[in-house]
A and B are shown apart, each in its own frame.
Chain A
Amino acid sequence: MPEHILALRDIHKSFGETQVLKGISLNVTAGEVVSIIGASGSGKSTFLRSINGLEMPQSGFLDFEGLSFDYHPESRFFPTATQLQALRKKVGMVFQSYNLWPHMTVLQNVIHAPIKLLKLPRAQAIEEAEALLSRIGLYEKRHSYPARLSGGQQQRVAIARALAMKPSLMLFDEVTSALDPELVHEVLVLMASLAREGMTMLVVTHEIAFARDVSSRVLFFDKGVIAEDGPPEILRNPQSDRLRQFLHRILHDEVAGVGAGYGGTQQ
């Protein structure tokens, strides 16, 4: 029996009258790389954001590394502020718009959380951050401010900032959608290398090539439910009409060869 690092059960979320998540359940095993695809408005981003409580579900259950939440407002297992912070320290998140802090240098962005939240000694935090920045090829930029970096570089720093907390799960929310096409590749390559190293990842993406070549599992979201859940092969052999239609629309636009080969699948 593989060990589930994250278990979600029956997650519901509405914005006013609009039901966005209609009872999502998902188990994630350590080392899995799960791509989440679907049309905009299908609930995939809201789902990702509900995992670390940036959106609070109205009901449902979460289990993650010894934390058990029941999102029903009256439940005594409803997460406290401290429990929510404990969850977030172990779950890294990267956003579409990078969200680096413009008043801090690249290095300061990366060491801020480890120093304040993990209570790392400053020297050690800097050492680890510099190792991370070398790894993503931005060591030379460590004293630059984010505004001096390209979008792709900023996004790689944002990934390093999340990794500095040594998370056991990483959430990627359409992290290449705001990038110029020529900068998408460097970010996807970094994500692929993380995947190869065994990082557990949930990736909301429009990059079908990434979902196909890098992830070990693909979820297709449709109208607030998981309409398909399977290995990347479902992208070649969709079981449902909805996924077939979705892929047709997406791949229709995709020029042959673009995005191919981000380094093979794991497992």
Chain B
Amino acid sequence: MNRQPAAWLFLAPAAMVLGVFFLLPVMGAFVLSLTDYDLYALADLHNLRFVALSNYWALLHRPLFWAALGHTVYFVAVGVPLSMLVSLCAALLLHSPLARCKPLFRTVLFAPVVTTVVAVAVVWRYLFNTKYGLVNYMLGTIGIHPIDWLGNPHWAMPAIILFAVWKNLGYNMIIMLAGLQAIPSELYEAARMDGASAWRQFRHITLPMLAPTLLMVGILTISGYFQLFAEPYIITEGGPLQSTVSVLYLMYDEGFKWWNLGSASAIAFLLFAIMFAVTELMLRVGRKEVEA
């Protein structure tokens, strides 16, 4: 029996679904990004103009796009390492043989992941309130002056990062915990017999064995964090002074608020290009690390 056609036959359903629901829309969006599709074009297609790359050109000349990109990169650069560090610490604590009530803590730490972003974001908005919020009240008890979390352009993004780290802590923690449990205990036994300290065990056994997991978690977290949207949408509405407008937020405003689908598609493709480049870079670096 010829294997080639059979293989294609088995692939066909998945390929069709991907083609119809993914490839076609993506190509459509690309064509859209070369036009100035907007409200007027929605009313009458005669009002559609082919503008080639000028949507992209205009975006690159728009200060708000660069600002949004800056905010997104800030969020990723600070948020991802922080989020992974906190998750790793939580996973290590939970994995420790000394830990008690493991199922309880696992559930409690995982709970934020399964809550609705919108609902908890509203709660955090109250927590961050300058005058009446719990966060400032707690800071006040240790003598720190109230911080204008959501009103000061310098503090709004840190507030959102804190929220995102709390929200995503459990998800990464569970994956890392699974990675930790997969490390054979013989390695630790051997290390202990050689007199390795806890830190050296962590440095030379846990970290290398966990590297593939960390790489995967890192890539997932980065691509998730690049798509920052719901948090600023609910907590700050992009403010104050547009200091929490992310690239995706800008795209939402352009596309769904003002119906400039042409320029919104251009933003989407630029974001895609950036994320693709970053992920590719991470994979290359990761591969080298694993090989080394």
A binds B: no
| Chain B residues proximal to chain A, CB less than 8 Å | none
